[in-house]
Amino acid sequence: MMYKAFFNALTGAALLALAGAAAADDLVLEDAWLRAVPPVSPTMAGYFTLRNDGDQAVELIGAKTDIAGMAMLHDTETTDDGQARMVHLSGITLEPGDEATFAPGGKHLMLMKVDTIPEAGESVEICLTFRDREDLCGDFPVRREAP
């Protein structure tokens, strides 16, 4: 009996570990980078691609990083007459198979109240946050130009 209980517990732990690995793999963060800006800048913009390879919809709701007092999801909307406007995105839902692209001139991660602006060549860990789901963290290399 003892042996069986132990075995069950072990199996359960292994299954949990497997489930954890699957949960981590079904969201893929790629092409992440931060645009290098002058050290005097209070803000930075981050870009990435997020793909949902899982079978559940996910909702990206924000981001956090140690280097910034605040991080928000923004979109740059450009009107027909060439005016650009920043809008705050409260959440982005990715259905299974969906991909969200954050790129210059469009959706971007805006870091505000950045204490010390990292230089080109450095890398910053940023965690994307989701509704009812654990954070997804990744390294964002700082670059002067888009990759």
To the nearest whole angstrom, how small is the minimum distance from the Cβ of residue 80 to another protein?
11
Residues at the contact surface with another protein, assessed by CB under 8 A: 35, 37-45, 70, 72, 74, 76, 78, 81-86, 104-105, 108, 110-113, 144-145
To the nearest whole angstrom, how small is the minimum distance from the Cβ of residue 134 to another protein?
26
3-class secondary structure, 9: helix
Q: Is 70 exposed, middle or buried (CB count within 10 Å of its CB: 0-12, 13-18, 19+)?
A: middle
How far apart CA 74 and CA 32 sit, in angstroms, is 16
Place of tokens 């992440």: 32
Using the minimum distance from each CB to another protein, give the nearer residue, 4 or 38. Answer: 38
To the nearest whole angstrom, how small is the minimum distance from the Cβ of residue 31 to another protein?
16
How far apart CA 28 and CA 136 sit, in angstroms, is 9
Using the minimum distance from each CB to another protein, give the nearer residue, 27 or 46. Answer: 46
Using the minimum distance from each CB to another protein, give the nearer residue, 13 or 112. Answer: 112
Using the minimum distance from each CB to another protein, give the nearer residue, 83 or 116. Answer: 83
How far apart CA 55 and CA 34 sit, in angstroms, is 29
Sign of CA dihedral 83, 62, 123, 30: negative
Using the minimum distance from each CB to another protein, give the nearer residue, 81 or 115. Answer: 81
3-class secondary structure, 42: coil
